[in-house]
Amino acid sequence: MFSSPDRRLQIADSQIRRFTDSQIISMRHKNEANIIPSVYSTHEHTTTTPNSPLPLDITLELLASILLLSTGIVLTSQPLKPIQWSRWSGKMSREGRHGTGRWTREGEEVLSEGDPYAFLGLDGGGEGRRGFFDVRGKRREYAEWVKGEPGSK
Amino acid sequence: MNEERELAINPIVQTSVQHNTQVVSNIRNLTASLFGVAAGTLGLESYPGFIFYLIGTFIVSGLVFVFRAEGKPSEYFHRPLGDLWGGDVFSGLSSFVLTWTLFYGLVRA
């Protein structure tokens, strides 16, 4: 009814050894297939021999599989964002606005968050400070007009 | 007063704080029910079960600390002790008890 303890330990051992970067993403799905047999073998064990303690190999397999599964959950979760404004905006200006790889139902790609003050146009380039009255520019124009006025006469 | 001045010099991005809290709470909810499966299958009763849950959440916090916060929790959490190590521990407790009793009943009883 039970596979031998050595074989089960071998399976658990090979599961740990297969802990490589390429398989981290698929680990969650692989280990769902690992926790179910250990629960089932516990069920079989307790129905056949209710009063004996649980064999060590089942316990080890269960603990190893939930450890791997929770590692997979942590690794596949979304990355955290820096909370300090300087680091957060620095990260954004370094990386720029890019697609996140997720798509809306309408077929538009979801973009990462961008600079919330981009509409001010402070970075120059285009028009610069759109929506703001260019006080310095107007003052310069006026000064030149005042200076130029007597000369033209 | 001191903290207020500190926040004026280094302001905090609220959306990032919300995002990080959401990520931690997702991880907690998923892993809590998982620990419930394990505790029920191992046949733990009363206090050992809760201690098992606390140890499990501590290990998960350690995993978040290493893999997600890259060893610098103050960069991602306003109060690392409360938000990372103790964040959402008790909200996951109910789903832990749910799966714990379910699997204890399925496997043991």
pLDDT at A2: 43
The number of C-alpha atoms within 13 Å of B92 and in the hemisphere containing its C-beta is 24
Give contacts of A75 with chain B, Cβ < 8 Å: 67
Average pLDDT score over chain B: 85
What DSSP assignment string belongs to B20-76? HHHHHHHHHHHHHHHHHHHHHHHT--SHHHHHHHHHHHHHHHHHIIIIISTT-GGGT
Find tokens 């970075």 and name the residue: A123
Average pLDDT over residues B105-109: 78
- Asked if the model's pLDDT at residue B32 lies above 80, the reply is yes
pLDDT score at B64:
86
Structure confidence by residue, pLDDT tens digits, B35-81: 998 898 888 888 998 999 999 999 988 888 888 888 787 888 888 78
Q: Is A38 an 8 Å CB contact of chain B?
A: yes
pLDDT along chain A (153 residues), means of 10: 44 43 47 68 74 77 86 85 81 75 81 72 57 76 87 53
Task: Enumerate the domain spans of chain A.
Answer: 5-76, 85-152
Question: Does residue A81 sit at the B interface (CB-CB below 8 Å)?
Answer: yes
* A55: nearest CA partner in chain B: B42
Check if B18 contacts A (Cβ < 8 Å). Answer: no
Percent residues over pLDDT 90 in chain B: 16
Burial class of residue A27 (count of CB atoms within 10 Å of its CB; 0-12, 13-18, 19+): buried
pLDDT at residue B93 greater than cutoff 80: yes
Contact A85 B103 (CB under 8 A): no
Is residue B53 less than 8 Å (CB to CB) from chain A?
no
Which residues face A84 on adjacent strands? B12
Which of B26, B29, B41 should one mutate to test binding to chain A, selecting the residue with the greatest count of A CBs within 10 A? B41
Contact call for A70 and B23, based on CB within 8 A: no
pLDDT at B17: 85
CA-to-CA separations, A135 to A83, A124, A139, A140, in angstroms, rounded: 35, 16, 6, 9
Place of tokens 């903290």: B3
Q: Does A35 touch chain B (CB under 8 A)?
A: yes
Tally Cβ neighbours within 10 Å of residue B10.
Answer: 12
pLDDT of residue A12: 44
Detail the DSSP E strand segments found in A6-152: 99-103, 109-111
What's the gap in Å between the CA of A37 and the closest CA on chain B?
A: 11
- A139: closest CA of chain B, how far (Å): 33
ipTM of the prediction: 0.82
Angle subtended at Cα A34 by Cα A27 and Cα B104, rounded to the nearest 5 degrees: 125
**What pLDDT was estimated at residue B97?**
92
Tell me the per-residue pLDDT of B72-83, one tens digit each, with 9 for 90 and over: 878 888 887 877
